Amino acid sequence: MDGNDAVAVYEAAGEAIGRARDGGGPTLLECKTYRYVGHHEGDPGTDYRTKEEFESWKRRDPLKVFQQQVAASGRVAPEELRKVEAETEEWLQDAVEFARTSPEPIANTVLDHVWPE
């Protein structure tokens, strides 16, 4: 399945959830997508890819494709999409600022909430 197609993934997941709730057991959804960046911060991770390959996948960016699908359907006005994007960006910036201004964690609490007591 095209993991970059949010609508297709949503529909397939809905079918799988319904089947499981009806006693049909689990479903494995293989959603193929593309990693634009390296495996970790600082890993360029793209040296082995051609520029053409990278650009081809960028044109299929899941968020952009979803926005185009929703806009084309007429169900959501473009200004509503911009509003959601702005609200999301504000939420992210608030989260980043919270992380930056929070005190460093105390070293001996590293395993708190990780292992069963």
Dump pLDDT digits (tens) for 102-111: 999 899 988 8
Chain segment 55-103, per-residue pLDDT in tens:
998 888 998 888 888 889 998 888 998 999 999 999 999 999 999 999 9
Which residues does residue 32 pair with via DSSP β-bridges, in sequence order? 2
- pLDDT on residue 102: 96
pTM: 0.64
- pLDDT on residue 117: 61
Answer yes or no: are the C-beta atoms of 67 and 5 closer than 8 Å.
no
